[in-house]
């Protein structure tokens, strides 16, 4: 499915329909750099249990990327303020008589839904591995690894290439520069 956002971007989604719909609609919102295909088996399991389930790729990522990650124009904030609301509205229109549940992973768990102006439409919310992403609050050496990643590696890689290649970052998908830039949430 292609879902249009209010600013004209396109979000690519996949809908998993149960044979007999019994439960609420479930949206699975992914972590940064994690494509919707990662959640496929989980979505199939939810659909088999009677829940219409939807996965999607944030703009600039996975199947929603149009063009190159080096030329992508957008911010991480757009995912929460534009993509999440479009997905919520689509699910609510497609299944008007069913409650809407949101299962989010990392960014998709906390930040995205908190930024969505229509987040009140969500009946139940489950956040998995919801970070607050402030490196000083992290334990041990992880604190310094994340600080180096966010303050040195990502900015230098974006400056040099315009994006962060997945093979260098250890993430699942290439990160467009506007998403990888820590200032993109402002």
pLDDT digits (tens, 9 = 90+) for 33-72: 899 999 999 999 999 999 999 999 999 999 999 889 998 8
pLDDT of 185: 47
pLDDT digits (tens, 9 = 90+) for 110-157: 889 889 999 999 999 999 988 766 777 888 888 888 888 888 888 898
Residues 6+ apart with CB under 8 A from 162: 69, 70, 71, 177
pLDDT of 132: 67
Helices in the chain by DSSP H: which ranges? 40-48, 76-78, 84-94, 111-115, 140-148, 154-161, 166-169, 177-180
CA-based nearest residue to 19, from 43, 47, 54: 47
Q: How far apart are CA 90 and CA 98, in angstroms?
A: 13
pLDDT of 129: 86
Q: What is the pTM of this model?
A: 0.90
pLDDT, mean of residues 160-170: 80
CA-based nearest residue to 33, from 10, 52, 15, 58: 58
């Amino acid at each position: 499915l292609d879902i249009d956002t209010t600013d004209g971007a396109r979000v690519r989604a996949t809908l998993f329909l149960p044979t007999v719909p019994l439960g609420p609609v479930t949206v699975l919102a992914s972590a940064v750099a994690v494509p919707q295909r990662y959640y496929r088996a989980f979505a199939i399991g939810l659909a088999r249990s009677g829940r219409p389930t939807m996965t999607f790729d944030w703009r600039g990522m996975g199947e929603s990327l149009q063009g190159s990650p080096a030329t992508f124009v957008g911010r991480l904030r757009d995912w929460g303020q534009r993509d999440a609301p479009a997905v919520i509205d689509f699910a609510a229109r497609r299944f008007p008589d069913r409650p809407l549940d949101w299962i989010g992973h990392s960014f998709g768990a906390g930040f995205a839904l908190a930024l969505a102006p229509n987040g009140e439409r969500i009946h139940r919310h489950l956040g998995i591995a919801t970070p607050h992403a402030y490196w000083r609050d992290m334990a041990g050496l992880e604190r310094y690894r994340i600080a180096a990643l966010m303050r040195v590696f990502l900015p230098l890689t974006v400056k040099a290439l315009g994006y962060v290649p997945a093979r260098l970052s250890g993430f699942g998908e290439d990160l467009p520069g506007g998403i990888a830039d820590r200032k993109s949430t402002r």
